[in-house]
Homo-oligomer: A and B are copies of this chain.
Amino acid sequence: MSEPLDQEGRAALSDAGWAVGETQADKTFVFKNFVEAFGWMTSVAIVAEKLNHHPEWFNVYKTVKVTLTTHDTGGLSDLDLKLAKRMDALAG
């Protein structure tokens, strides 16, 4: 279902501030406070379930560290790019 991410896709992630590794992309989001961080996480959770593609994420207070990867393809896929774009847009 998911397609391995091509060079253009990897570049798009990188341009948007994601640390793009061999098999994953990482980004740390910092919000004003916990209230805003968790509101964002809720929006992202709704999107993720709809995509059937979930982040690995770590939260403490106003900080959320996200790792995206696709187990099916053993690395980054178009789903990671889609989810990343939604995360970035929702973080405003």
A59 to chain B, nearest CB (A): 6
Q: Which bucket holds chain A's interface residue count?
A: 20 to 34
**Of the residues B34, B58, B60, contact of A49 by C-beta under 8 Å:** B34
Expressed in whole angstroms, the Cα–Cα distance for A58 and B57 within the complex equals 6
Query: Does A23 have its Cβ within 8 Å of any Cβ on chain B?
Result: no
Query: Does A46 have its Cβ within 8 Å of any Cβ on chain B?
Result: yes
User: Could you show 7 A-B contacts with beta carbons less than 8 Å apart?
Assistant: A34-B45, A36-B43, A39-B43, A39-B90, A56-B59, A56-B60, A58-B59
Residues in B neighbouring A46, C-beta threshold 8 A:
34-35, 38-39, 45-46, 49
Query: Does A29 have its Cβ within 8 Å of any Cβ on chain B?
Result: no
